[in-house]
A and B are shown apart, each in its own frame.
Chain A
Amino acid sequence: MAIELKMPALSPTMEEGTLAKWLVKPGDTVKSGDILAEIETDKATMEFESIDEGTIGELLVSEGTEGVKVGTVIATLQGEDEPAAPAAASAPAAEPAPAPAADPKAQAAAAIAPKHDAKPAADPEIPAGTTMVPTTVREALRDAMAEEMRADSAVFVMGEEVAEYQGAYKVTQGLLEEFGDKRVIDTPITEYGFAGIGAGAAMGGLKPVIEFMTFNFAMQAIDHIINSAAKTNYMSGGQMRCPIVFRGPNGAAARVGAQHSQNYGPWYAAVPGLVVIAPYDAADAKGLLKAAIRSQDPVVFLENELVYGRTFDVPQLDDFVLPIGKARVVREGKDVTIVSYSIGVGFALEAAQQLAEQGIDAEVIDLRTLRPLDKETVLASLAKTNRMVVAEEGFPVCSIASEIIAIAMEEGFDHLDAPVLRVCDEDVPLPYAANLEKAALIDAGKIVAAVKKVCYR
């Protein structure tokens, strides 16, 4: 029984090629690996190897023939002792390059995109009479890690200076003492390496909390955050997870110049497969970091150095966990909505105070989670106030503000009485000089000006 040798596709894009040269003739005995012919593709001349053993029967396409379609039978091979090598038996009919997907576009259109029906749970009710404890954001983050480490032995903290030094920004203070050096691990200065070790440990079933001294340094590790952590679950068909938290300060600090001052929120929020959280106050920092550590998904948890020392009330509860993916209305108002996150929320609240004095009642929304984004809360507020400003400490181009504005256009257009404006940092690397730095960053005054504009005041 003859095996049909077909014109092979020799690159991802090849549809036809030239049969440049035959290196065998009828009657030749060939074995697996022998070169049968040279075939020219659009890119290169390739060798066509035999994968079966046998004797060449006929050469059906002569040397020098151009435009031979992939899948055309070009020769036959007589199998030796094994009749009908499975190759031929199982090969489909000589259709050139059978593309299994008939019409990917049509099929994709027919696919039912998942509805965003899973409404994020509301914040847990805080029982009446709960003691509120003034806590810094720094302490709240530490408490969150300590509580989760007590609850789950798979949780460990790794990063530069997290153990003996107690954290470059003292966020991990006291953890080494309580949990020991097996679970609180100082790394060398080697972001790419320890981000990969963390991601691998998560793939193996542990729950790492990886601290970057700042997210500026995570640029060296972004490959593992995106290519290793974010994509694994999808690429494995849901088989292999990467439950890891990458956390650390993000955004501009004070007078540290361009390389140490950048908000990566929009970068990570652009990547499917990641959860991105950027809290403002201490209670959110605690409740959301606990949720992040418990999550089965990879989480990028963006803190802010300038907020670490601010004090807020945190409810004294045994297990205070907040829902991921849920924005919070931090100030109710009826005239205009200011959407922000992280340190921007502080500026937005300050602006709202100033606006109240001028007779404008602003609602302030803290997104808290940047991915998945809580569109419902943003759109519900827009439907109420009909005007919106997005305040973001970060570059304006391709920002979270850009995304909120797109959502307002696509899904809230009928509710808009004015264009949505964004108040972001200037579109320049952050300068060092005090006056220039101040001019480059957002502040309450810039938000007030934008709000007045959308209110036509």
Chain B
Amino acid sequence: MAKSARPRAANPRSSAPKPAAVAASVSDVSAALSSPVEDDATFALRSLQQSHANNKRYDASDAELLKFYEQMVLIRRFEEKAGQLYGLGLIGGFCHLYIGQEAVAVGLQSALNEGHDSVITGYRDHGHMLAYGIDPKVIMAELTGRGAGISRGKGGSMHMFSTEHKFFGGHGIVGAQVSLGAGLAFGHKYRDDGGVCMAYFGDGAANQGQVYETFNMAALWKLPIVFVVENNGYAMGTAVKRGSAETHFYRRGTAFRIPGMPVNGMDVLEVRQAAEVALEYVRGGNGPVLMELNTYRYRGHSMSDPAKYRSREEVQEMRDKHDPIEGAKQELLKRGVTEEAIKDIDKKIRQQVAQAADFAESSPEPDMAELYTDVLVEKY
């Protein structure tokens, strides 16, 4: 998928000793007693960041950019509709919208091999599913708790999966998807199928202990995984600076020798370019990368969050000046794509989302027998 060749990132572990088959030798142990020697890993850890800084934006064709625009609009309109259906009482429980963060899932996943590379995320999962080509109808029907939903109405907004697309959820426990994602990456390596896993988590989840347990093993075993921190500024209602001692999340892999890169998550082309750099490194067998995608969610944490922890002006500023969809639209116009062509896309997406909503409202609730199915796979 890599569009153009670029200088191969240095392997930060290239100078590290090969893992010993037996216990550390006496010299290893005694070496540790003397003061630590600065090796070139310190520099190499920043090599991807450098590589990204040198060439920030993906050189998309018009068709590609139109596709990105279309996918982002799909997510935006889908989520707005979900919010509306929630307001009408058709969607219950927790419902976390992805509005504002569209460029992240679209930019990153456009660089993956859909159906081959694995994707896993937390509970704010609708956007990642739409970006991986999963039918909006069955997603919306899951939100309304219908039998035709992707989880037969038994999972809901936070628990959706498509093994066919290699989208592995949809996990409601904050941070759990990070170690599960490393397990998926372990599977790619075990089978030697060339696949990678992209594991998304938020700035809040980045403070869970298991994330660092996972970083350690992923780096130790060189698992093919891209860790993606979607830093939207708030862990529910807690601003990053109130919850994190190190607010630059891309640096958080340093202790495990995982190279990091900060990315503007409001620009789909920058996101895509960063994905190219990260994936080339990971596919090269070098182990994990930690990407920090700086983004913003326009809505509350969930539908019942009044978002009083930030000002209306802050939200408006992001909408007005950094909106990823507006940004892509301006880029398209600048390239000479007509207003009409863009409007056609908008119209098409509105229809698609309306159809998904109709389907989700009109299809029946799960059969009562579904209550007892799928508890165990086998009969004992």
A: residues with CB less than 8 A from B are 6, 8-12, 14, 32-33, 35, 41, 43-47, 49, 51, 70-71, 82, 85-87, 89-92, 96-101, 107-108, 110-114, 118, 120, 156, 164, 182, 187-188, 190, 192-206, 223-224, 227-228, 232-241, 243, 272-273, 275, 295-297, 323-326, 369, 372
Residue of B172, B303, B304, B361 with most partner-chain A CB within 10 A: B304
Find out whether the CB atom of A237 lies under 8 angstroms from the CB atom of B380. no
- How many pairs, one residue from A and one from B, have CB atoms within 8 Å of each other in the complex? 254
Find out whether the CB atom of B374 lies under 8 angstroms from the CB atom of A196. no
Find out whether the CB atom of B371 lies under 8 angstroms from the CB atom of A240. no
Known interface pairs A51-B81, A204-B118, A238-B152; A197-B217 also in contact (CB < 8 Å): yes
- The answer, yes or no, to whether B369 is at the interface (CB within 8 Å) is yes
- The answer, yes or no, to whether B214 is at the interface (CB within 8 Å) is yes
Q: Which residues in window 159-196 of B have CB below 8 A to A? A: 159-163, 168-173, 176, 178-188, 190
Give A297 to B376 CA distance when docked, in angstroms.
6
Q: Of B37-45, B265-273, B345-353, which binds chain A?
A: B345-353
Q: Name the B residues within 8 Å of A35 (CB-CB).
A: 312
Give A214 to B120 CA distance when docked, in angstroms.
30
Q: Name the B residues within 8 Å of A85 (CB-CB).
A: 350
Find out whether the CB atom of A233 lies under 8 angstroms from the CB atom of B377. yes
Q: Which of these, A10, A97, A235, contacts B303 with CB under 8 Å?
A: A10
A-B contacts, 26 listed (Cβ < 8 Å): A6-B87, A9-B87, A10-B87, A10-B304, A10-B306, A11-B304, A47-B312, A70-B87, A89-B354, A90-B358, A118-B379, A156-B190, A192-B210, A198-B183, A200-B185, A201-B183, A204-B187, A228-B173, A234-B374, A236-B374, A237-B152, A237-B374, A238-B152, A239-B161, A239-B163, A295-B377
Give A397 to B76 CA distance when docked, in angstroms.
51
Q: Name the B residues within 8 Å of A204 (CB-CB).
A: 118, 168, 183-184, 186-188
Find out whether the CB atom of A107 lies under 8 angstroms from the CB atom of B375. no
Find out whether the CB atom of A98 lies under 8 angstroms from the CB atom of B375. no
Q: Name the A residues within 8 Å of B350 (CB-CB).
A: 82, 85-86
Find out whether the CB atom of A236 lies under 8 angstroms from the CB atom of B155. yes
Q: Name the B residues within 8 Å of A14 (CB-CB).
A: 304
Report the minimum CB–CB distance from A341 to chain B (whole Å): 16
Known interface pairs A70-B89, A92-B361, A297-B378; A193-B372 also in contact (CB < 8 Å): no
Find out whether the CB atom of A235 lies under 8 angstroms from the CB atom of B365. no
Find out whether the CB atom of B217 lies under 8 angstroms from the CB atom of A44. no
Find out whether the CB atom of B209 lies under 8 angstroms from the CB atom of A45. no
Find out whether the CB atom of B186 lies under 8 angstroms from the CB atom of A193. no
Report the minimum CB–CB distance from B252 to chain A (whole Å): 15
- The answer, yes or no, to whether B90 is at the interface (CB within 8 Å) is yes
Give A182 to B190 CA distance when docked, in angstroms.
7
B: residues with CB less than 8 A from A are 22, 76, 80-81, 83-84, 86-90, 92-94, 99, 118, 120, 144-145, 149-155, 159-163, 168-173, 176, 178-188, 190, 209-210, 213-214, 216-217, 220, 298-300, 303-304, 306-308, 312, 319, 347, 350-351, 353-354, 357-358, 361, 365, 368-380
Find out whether the CB atom of B378 lies under 8 angstroms from the CB atom of A240. no
Q: Name the B residues within 8 Å of A12 (CB-CB).
A: 92-94, 304
Q: Name the B residues within 8 Å of A236 (CB-CB).
A: 151, 154-155, 159-161, 169, 374
A90-B357, A203-B180, A236-B159 known; 9 other A-B pairs, CB under 8 Å?
A51-B81, A108-B371, A188-B220, A192-B179, A192-B209, A196-B182, A197-B183, A235-B154, A240-B168
Find out whether the CB atom of A227 lies under 8 angstroms from the CB atom of B176. yes
Q: Name the B residues within 8 Å of A99 (CB-CB).
A: 89
Give A14 to B91 CA distance when docked, in angstroms.
13
Q: Name the A residues within 8 Å of B89 (CB-CB).
A: 9, 70-71, 96-99
Report the minimum CB–CB distance from A388 to chain B (whole Å): 23
Find out whether the CB atom of B376 lies under 8 angstroms from the CB atom of A233. yes
Q: Which of these, B149, B184, B354, contacts A203 with CB under 8 Å?
A: B184
Known interface pairs A239-B162, A295-B378; A201-B171 also in contact (CB < 8 Å): no
Known interface pairs A70-B89, A203-B184; A234-B371 also in contact (CB < 8 Å): no
Residue of B171, B361, B379 with most partner-chain A CB within 10 A: B379
Write the chain B residue with the least CB distance to A237: B152
Report the minimum CB–CB distance from A28 to chain B (whole Å): 16
Give A407 to B73 CA distance when docked, in angstroms.
56
Known interface pairs A85-B350, A206-B187, A236-B151; A272-B375 also in contact (CB < 8 Å): yes
Q: Name the B residues within 8 Å of A199 (CB-CB).
A: 179-180, 183
Give A405 to B35 CA distance when docked, in angstroms.
64
Find out whether the CB atom of A238 lies under 8 angstroms from the CB atom of B373. yes
Report the minimum CB–CB distance from B380 to chain A (whole Å): 3
Q: Name the A residues within 8 Å of B303 (CB-CB).
A: 10-11
Residue of B93, B183, B378 with most partner-chain A CB within 10 A: B183
Q: Name the A residues within 8 Å of B88 (CB-CB).
A: 6, 8-9, 70-71, 91-92, 97-98
Give A156 to B183 CA distance when docked, in angstroms.
12
Find out whether the CB atom of A193 lies under 8 angstroms from the CB atom of B213. yes
Find out whether the CB atom of B375 lies under 8 angstroms from the CB atom of A196. no
Q: Name the B residues within 8 Å of A194 (CB-CB).
A: 179, 213, 217
Give A321 to B76 CA distance when docked, in angstroms.
53
Report the minimum CB–CB distance from A226 to chain B (whole Å): 10
Which 10 residue pairs spanning A and B have beta carbons closest together? A200-B183, A196-B179, A8-B87, A193-B213, A86-B354, A237-B152, A325-B380, A200-B180, A204-B187, A11-B304
Residue of A33, A43, A206 with most partner-chain B CB within 10 A: A33
Report the minimum CB–CB distance from A90 to chain B (whole Å): 5
Q: Name the A residues within 8 Å of B351 (CB-CB).
A: 86
Report the minimum CB–CB distance from A408 to chain B (whole Å): 21
Give A238 to B99 CA distance when docked, in angstroms.
30
Write the chain A residue with the least CB distance to B304: A11
Q: Name the A residues within 8 Å of B180 (CB-CB).
A: 196-197, 199-200, 203, 224, 228
Find out whether the CB atom of A206 lies under 8 angstroms from the CB atom of B377. no
Give A325 to B376 CA distance when docked, in angstroms.
12
Q: Which of these, A96, A190, A232, contacts B217 with CB under 8 Å?
A: A190
Find out whether the CB atom of B371 lies under 8 angstroms from the CB atom of A201. no
Q: Name the B residues within 8 Å of A323 (CB-CB).
A: 380
Find out whether the CB atom of B190 lies under 8 angstroms from the CB atom of A223. no
Find out whether the CB atom of B182 lies under 8 angstroms from the CB atom of A200. yes
Find out whether the CB atom of B308 lies under 8 angstroms from the CB atom of A206. no
Find out whether the CB atom of A90 lies under 8 angstroms from the CB atom of B374. no
Find out whether the CB atom of A240 lies under 8 angstroms from the CB atom of B169. yes
